[in-house]
Amino acid sequence: MAADPARLRGRATVTRRHRMMAAGASGATRSSTAPPDLLGYGVCPVEDGRPNPYDPMALDSEDTGVIRETKAALVDNASIVGGGDVEQVRDRDPESSLGRSTTSQPRRYWPTQCHALQEIFFVRLNILLVFVPLGQLAKIFEYNSAIIFSTNFLAIIPLASLLGSATEALSAHVGQLFGGLLNATFGNAVEMIMCVQAVKAGLIQVVQGNLLGSILSNLLLVLGMAICASGILRKQQSFNAQGAAANMTCQAVASISVCLPTMFRAVSGASEADVLMISRVCSIFLMLVYGLFLYFQLKTHADLFAEEDGEEDTSDMLAPSPSVLLLFLATLVVAACSEALVDSIEEVSENYGLPKAFIGVILLPIVGNAAEHATAVTCAYKGMMDLALGVAVGSSTQIALFVVPCAVMFGWIYDQPMNLAFRNFDTACQMLSVFLVSQVLQHGNTNWLHGSMLMTTYLLIACITWFIPE
């Protein structure tokens, strides 16, 4: 930092004035012991024969302490007024009062963590956390099934947001590869937990509908709303077409893996045991494809998926230990709420005439994807279309290649006939949706009309789902 000329002139004036006083004072001569330049303002006159107050050898410990405190105070004032570097003074004089304040790093840890937790919890969506105890109380006291369903339905929405925030914070600290694996495991933890609960309860069609609905809601509803939000301010919005193409190719593979067992079931002489075994084999291959896609995304072709902002600053994020704790607690609470939600589906469907297909395909995906929906639409509105595509299309790829085969594996563990032979209508919806989204994204730019077409397709599917017979 350049020195202030006015300060330098003032300092030189004071030094010259002191020297003139020392040379022109009658009966006064320079002391043989030259006083040290303690304050940086030159040498002050000392009368001959008197003790030199600036000689450290002539001062007692009390006077030395006073001088040091005076020096520290002047350094403080200089750093405040003139922009001086206090850290340099601490290094030069470790015994001063400034030298004792060098351990500020540990004291910044807890304020940083408190601020990170405030950013995670103090959002409007978390008002719905009040339904977490209400939903558990409704289950314990065996209230009406509609109350149990609705309270736990609303409770899982903010819990999904907390799970996503904890996963994101933890992934930022463990590196790109392990961060990708964490996102693969916990990125759709709500869908995974609900699938496990429904598979244990034997609600196979509800599980299949939930998985299909999660894919469709991300590909059609979320992506369509994001494109329309971007189209409000922009005539056209460009994005990374190569990254989107890689995701859509994986979506096509997942659609084929669902279509083949469904078609095989219609073959004459095919048994349910054969369909189940084929589904399990296909699930293993799907998980292998997802592992290859992760290696492609994080290692060999990471430049296709690189964010524009570069490396993320983790100094203000939640530390690994509280992130793990938050992730663990949120997972436990989500498991409890999803168990109560799944247990009430049968009674709600029977007592209120709500089709199970509509619950699985339309309602349950809203629970796990509400926070992602809001993120994708907000990012697209701000012009960050690549990030919006990563949330919408990337999440659907994760569900199709990882969550769906995991649901089949859990059915194998719990001895439930969970397979990939979906309803013919479900399979057709998935294939046609992947084809439509591929057509929209193939050129690398979109407009509001594309988003409108995607949302219209989703509304058509939702209307027909309401009329699917049990």
Q: For residue 237, what are the β-bridge partners?
A: 446
pLDDT at 184: 59
DSSP code at position 319: P
At residue 387 the predicted structure's pLDDT band, cuts being 50, 70 and 90, is confident
* Of the candidates 314, 311, 252, the residue with the CA atom closest to the CA atom of residue 286: 252
Residue type, 266: A
The three-point CA angle 74-75-81 to 5° equals 85
Q: Quick one: pLDDT at residue 26? A: 41
pLDDT at 180: 59
Highest mean pLDDT among 63-72, 73-82, 119-128: 119-128
At residue 394 the predicted structure's pLDDT band, cuts being 50, 70 and 90, is confident
Sign of the dihedral through C-alpha 349, 354, 356, 361: negative
Q: How far apart are CA 372 and CA 329, in angstroms?
A: 20
Q: Average pLDDT in the 410-415 region?
A: 92
Residue 80 has pLDDT above 90, yes or no: no
Mean pLDDT of 75-84: 46
188 DSSP 8-state letter: T
Six token digits for residue 341:
């939600």
- Tens digits of per-residue pLDDT, 229-260? 999 888 888 888 888 888 899 999 999 999 99
Averaged confidence pLDDT in the chain? 77
- Asked if residues 167 and 159 have their Cβ atoms less than 8 Å apart, the reply is no
- Report the pLDDT averaged over residues 8-22: 44
> Alpha carbon 41 to chain centroid distance?
55
Q: CB within 8 A of 73, min separation 6: which ones?
A: none
* 437, pLDDT greater than 60: yes
Q: Which of 36-50, 117-131, 261-275, 407-421 has the lowest mean pLDDT?
A: 36-50
User: What is the pLDDT confidence band of residue 68, given thresholds at 50, 70 and 90?
Assistant: low
* Higher-scoring residue by pLDDT: 186, 359: 359
| H or E segment to which residue 63 belongs | helix 61-82
User: Residue 401 above 60 pLDDT?
Assistant: yes
pLDDT, tens only, 291-327: 898 888 878 887 777 654 445 556 677 888 888 898 8
The C-alpha atoms of residue 225 and residue 202 are separated, in whole angstroms, by 34
Burial 144-179 (b: 16+ CB within 10 A, else e): ebebbbbbbbbbbbbbbbbbbbbbbbbbbbeeeeeb
Helix 364-381 and helix 204-216, axial crossing angle in degrees, nearest 10: 10
Band of the pLDDT at 183, cuts 50, 70, 90? low
Residue 3, token pair as written in the block: 């020195």
| Residue with more model confidence, 66 or 450 | 450
Q: Is the pTM of this model over 0.75?
A: no
